[in-house]
Amino acid sequence: TAPTTTTEGTATVKTSDADFKHAVEAALAQYPDVKVTVTNGIVYLEGQLASDTDYEKVVMLTESVDGIG
């Protein structure tokens, strides 16, 4: 997986696709039917949700993960 590099203060942190996937899956734990795929640092979500409100929550939770958004 291709690492993504971010700078926090004076430290550089590399995040792999697997790290992003794990973080997004943890953030979306209440939505187990949403499939998360990460390729070259790009997050793809797949699945059906019960409402537009759930959709907006999934997007918000995904974007709240460090390094995404």
17 three-class SS:
helix
What is the rounded distance in angstroms from the CA atom of residue 49 to the CA atom of residue 35? 11
Q: What are phi and psi of 38, to 5 degrees?
A: -130, 125
The pTM of this model reads 0.78
pLDDT digits (tens, 9 = 90+) for 44-55: 999 999 999 999
Name 14's bridge partners. 5
Would you write out the chain's pLDDT as a tens digit for each of its 69 residues?
Answer: 455 555 556 666 668 999 999 999 999 999 999 999 999 999 999 999 999 999 999 999 999 999 887
